[in-house]
Amino acid sequence: MTDQQAPRATTDTTSSLASAQPQAKKDILGYLVLIAGVGALVWGAVAAIGTGWGFWAYTSGLKGVAGAFLLGIAVILIGLVQEWRVRKSITPPLRARRWVGMLIALVYVGWIGTFFVKALTVPAIHDVSTDLADPPAFQTLQLRADNLDNVPGADYPKMRGLTPEQRWAMVHQKDYGDIRSVGVNEPVATVIAKAERLAKARGWDVAISLPEEGRLEATETSAFFQFKDDVVLRVRPSNTGEGSIVDMRSVSRVGQSDLGMNAKRVRSFLADLTGTVTAAQ
pLDDT 10s digits, 43-87: 999 999 999 999 999 999 999 999 999 999 999 999 999 888 877
pLDDT at 155: 87
Partners of residue 250 on adjacent β-strands: 128, 231
Per-residue pLDDT band for 25 (boundaries 50, 70, 90) equals: low
Who has greater pLDDT, 19 or 170? Answer: 170
> How confident is the model over 243-259, as a mean pLDDT?
96
* Ramachandran category for residue 209: left, alpha or beta (phi over 0 → left; psi -120 to 50 → alpha): beta
Give dist(CA 243, CA 188) in Å, integer: 7
Q: Are 266 and 130 in contact (CB under 8 A)?
A: yes
User: Is pLDDT at 18 greater than 50 in this prediction?
Assistant: no
Give the pLDDT confidence score for residue 281 in this predicted structure: 41
| Per-residue confidence (pLDDT) for residue 118, from 0 to 100 | 93
How far apart (Å, rounded) are the C-alpha atoms in residues 231 and 145?
16
Write down the pLDDT at residue 154. Answer: 86
Strands 244-252 and 182-184: antiparallel
Cα first-last separation, the chain:
109
Other CB atoms within 10 Å distance of the CB of residue 118: 14
What's the mean per-residue pLDDT of the chain? 88
Report the amino acid identity of residue 252. Answer: S
53 vs 17 pLDDT, higher one: 53
Contact yes or no for 147/251 (Cβ under 8 A): yes
Residue 85 is predicted with a pLDDT of: 81
Say what percent of the chain tops pLDDT 90: 74
Q: Rounded CA gap, 262 and 252, in Å?
A: 7
Is pLDDT of 8 > 50? yes
- Give the burial class of 50: count Cβ atoms within 10 A of its Cβ; 0-12 exposed, 13-18 middle, 19 or more buried: middle
Arithmetic mean of pLDDT, 98-107: 95
pLDDT at residue 9 in the model: 47
**What are the beta bridge partners of residue 232?**
217, 249
- Is a pLDDT exceeding 90 seen at residue 10? no
| pLDDT for residue 72 | 97
Q: How far apart are CA 103 and CA 43, in angstroms?
A: 16
pLDDT at 161 over 70: yes
**Residue 26 confidence class, pLDDT cut points 50, 70, 90:** low
Mean pLDDT of 113-140: 96
Q: What is the CA radius of gyration of the chain?
A: 30
Judge whether residue 266 has pLDDT over 60.
yes
The pLDDT, as a whole number, for residue 240 is 82
Convert the pLDDT of each residue in 192-211 to its tens digit.
999 999 999 999 999 999 99
Q: What is the pLDDT of residue 23?
A: 44
**Other Cβ atoms closer than 10 A to 115:** 11
Quickly list DSSP for the chain.
Answer: --TTHHHHHHHHHHHHHHHHSPPPPP-HHHHHHHHHHHHHHHHHHHHHHHHHTTSS-HHHHHHHHHHHHHHHHHHHHHHHHHHHHTTT-SSPPPSHHHHHHHHHHHHHHHHHHHHHHHHHHS-S--EEES-SSSPPPPSSS---TTTTTT-TTTTSGGGTT--HHHHHHHHHHHH-TT---EEESS-HHHHHHHHHHHHHHTT-EEEEEETTTTEEEEEEE-SSS--EEEEEEEEEE-TTSSSEEEEEEEEESS-S--TTHHHHHHHHHHHHHHS--PBP-
Distance of CA 163 to the CA centre of its chain: 30
Tell me how crowded residue 113 is: count the other CB atoms within 10 A of its CB.
14
